[in-house]
Amino acid sequence: MNSPSIAGLDERFQLAQVVVQEAGKLAFHYFKERDKLVIETKRDPQDVVSIADREVEELIRSRFAEAFSDDGVLGEEYGLQNGNSGFTWVVDPIDGTSPFVNGMPNWCVSIALLHDGSPVLGVIYAPCFDETYAARAGGGATLNGNPLSLSPDKTIRNAVTGIGANSHVTPAFVARMVESLLEAGGNFIRNGSGALMLAYVAAGRLVGYYEPYMHAWDCLAGYCLVKEAGGWYHPFPTGQEQLTRGAPVVAGGPGALDDLTRIAGIDAASLAHT
Ligand code: IPD
Ligand code: CA
Ligand code: CA
């Protein structure tokens, strides 16, 4: 596979793979002690957070600041800090906080790196499964070191599609989205971690993922993984104004492209793929 030469990318990829493990171990420590966590709510009672999310993000930020002090960082808990290197890290310290605080294993640490508006690196670690997903632009995607490659034979009709929803979208919209998927012969799963479900798309476990409104930290690492595994995604708006806002998230394997773009109402010509 051809590798575009982005100066400084390889060093950052190496570091991200170390940091995601360290962050995952800290998160896993809190997961095992979760009965002692004080759970706070954010936008609504379903949107939860604890000291675990904040400490894991602080750890990740400090590791990147030590090594690449000119890089920007956007994290869910502490917002956007601009840099001047041309690289911006995009971090969700714990994606799947609801499963995390409720004692289910579907959560992960998600780290992406933006360059020229595109995710050029994505690493996701799911501590309860000891699974590390890693991708670098032009370098392919791996799961625990094994290459991932998507088959065009899987469609929404013979495989499962991941979906997600939150209080940014109306119940009626979510109902229509599920209805369209089922009417097209598909079926769905929601495990509570959009980032992990995108990693599952890259691994071929899910044929696609659709959530009407998510943030950059939820999707960019997964997007890089899916593309590098041979899939496609609907680009997330990464301009200065839009990066901290939400947008529709849609990604999938080659065999889900026509159906999922139609169901999500997006233009297939706008997609990013290899
Ligand atoms: C959430 C999860 C969930 C998705 C939500 C996200 P969080 O992230 O990815 O699956 O449906 O839209 O906000 O709060 O667990 O980091
Ligand atoms: Ca998230
Ligand atoms: Ca989170």
Give residue 2's pLDDT band: very low, low, confident or very high (50, 70, 90). Answer: very low
In angstroms, the CA 112 to CA 254 distance is 23
Locate CATH 3.30.540.10 in the chain. Answer: 9-147
254 lines ligand 1 (CB under 6 A): no
221 lines ligand 1 (CB under 6 A): no
15-30 average pLDDT score: 98
State the helix-helix crossing angle for 216-228 and 194-202, rounded to 10 degrees: 0
Model pLDDT, residue 62: 98
Model pLDDT, residue 46: 74
Query: Against a cut of 0.85, is the pTM above it?
Result: yes
Domain 9-147 has CATH 3.30.540.10: yes
93 lines ligand 1 (CB under 6 A): no
Of 70 and 274, the structure prediction assigns the larger pLDDT to 70
193, 244, 249: which to mutate for ligand 1, most atoms within 8 A of CB?
193
Give residue 4's pLDDT band: very low, low, confident or very high (50, 70, 90). Answer: low
Locate CATH 3.40.190.80 in the chain. Answer: 160-268
**Residue 247 scores a pLDDT above 70:** yes
Determine the topology of domain 160-268 in CATH.
Answer: D-Maltodextrin-Binding Protein; domain 2 (3.40.190)
Model pLDDT, residue 251: 98
Q: Which atom of ligand 1 is nearest to the CA of 165?
A: 11
User: Which distant-in-sequence residues (6+ apart) come within 8 Å of 38 by Cβ?
Assistant: 50, 51
